């Protein structure tokens, strides 16, 4: 959500390769946040900042080789994820993340007859834009994202924040496609619960 949107991919890459520092600054401001979320989920809070810094430096040095076969953002996210993995192998994680209830089978959001009862009616009126306007909700989601189990946190950040496709994600995380889909759904479902509760009660 920067002031103005970036130029088209082709133009963007072309100008970045031709020393357009002002544009580079806008790119940093646009994508840094997603890169940070990915770094945080894979490498942990202690070194996330360094990982992103290193990822940018790798990207700057490799930019002349970038061929535009993927979007620039995907390329940056991939570099970040790989940097995070490399760092993680060198250092053990400093913070153990609080586990979230994994009790999928006995989900209380279903009625005894197996009907879904977990939504909330008032919410139908809000469009995605209304949601975005709620900074408090964003903060609430962020707070709960970091409580997801590691693997769920990684996948939802790579997929929904970072915008990578599932094949790339499976490669990065070294998991199967079906496993990835299950983990992604669990993570999204938990975030949906956070959003639904916030909308219903106004509390995080």
Partner 1 sequence: MLSCKHTIAQGTDYLDKELGFWRKVEMKMHLMICVNCRRYVKQLKQTVVMLSKGQFKQPSEQQVEQLKQEYQDVASKQ
Which residues form the interface with partner 1 (CB under 8 A)? 1, 19, 21, 24-25, 28-29, 32-34, 36-37, 40, 52-53, 56-57, 60-61, 63-64, 107, 110, 114-121, 123-124, 126, 128, 131-132, 137-138, 141-142, 156, 160-161, 163, 166, 181, 184-185, 188-189, 191-192, 195-196
Choose the binding region for Zn ion from 47-55, 109-117, 152-160, 169-177 (rule: CB under 5 A): 109-117
Residue 13: CB partners within 8 Å, gap ≥ 6? 66, 68, 72
Closer CB to partner 1, 80 or 89, in the complex = 80
Give me the DSSP letters along 67-100: --SS-HHHHHHHHHHHHHHHHHHHS--S-PPPP-
Closer CB to Zn ion, 29 or 109, in the complex = 109
Closer CB to partner 1, 10 or 116, in the complex = 116
Cα radius of gyration rounded to whole Å, the chain: 19
Choose from partner 1, Zn ion, none: what does 191 bind? Cβ within 5-8 Å by kind: partner 1
The four Cα atoms 2, 157, 58, 22 give a dihedral, to 10 degrees, of 0
> How far, in Å, CA of 201 to CA of 204, rounded?
8
Query: Cα angle vertex 74, ends 37, 182, to 5°?
Result: 65
The minimum distance between CB 116 and Zn ion, in angstroms, equals 5
Choose from partner 1, Zn ion, none: what does 181 bind? Cβ within 5-8 Å by kind: partner 1
Closer CB to partner 1, 89 or 121, in the complex = 121
- 179 — phi, psi (to 5°)? -60, -45
To the nearest 10 degrees (0 to 180), the angle between helices 72-90 and 166-173 is 10
Q: Which residues sit at the interface with Zn ion, rule CB under 5 A?
A: 116
């Amino acid at each position: 959500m920067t002031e103005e949107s970036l130029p088209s991919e082709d133009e963007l890459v072309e100008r970045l390769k031709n020393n357009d520092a002002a544009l580079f600054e806008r790119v940093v401001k646009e994508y840094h946040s997603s890169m940070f979320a990915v770094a945080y989920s894979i490498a942990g809070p202690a070194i996330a900042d360094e990982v992103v810094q290193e990822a940018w430096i790798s990207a700057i040095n490799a930019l002349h080789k970038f061929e535009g076969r993927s979007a620039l953002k995907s390329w940056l996210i991939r570099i970040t994820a790989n940097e995070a993995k490399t760092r993680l192998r060198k250092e053990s994680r400093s913070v153990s993340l609080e586990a979230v209830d994994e009790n999928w089978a006995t989900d209380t959001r279903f009625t005894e007859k197996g009907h879904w009862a977990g939504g909330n009616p008032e919410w139908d009126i809000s469009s995605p834009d209304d949601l975005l306007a709620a900074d408090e909700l964003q903060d609430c989601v962020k707070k709960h994202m970091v409580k997801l189990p590691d693997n769920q946190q990684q996948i939802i950040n790579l997929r929904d924040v970072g915008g990578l496709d599932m094949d790339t994600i499976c490669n990065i995380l070294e998991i199967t496609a079906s496993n990835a889909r299950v983990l992604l759904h669990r993570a999204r479902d938990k975030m949906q619960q956070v959003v639904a509760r916030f909308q219903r009660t106004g509390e995080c």
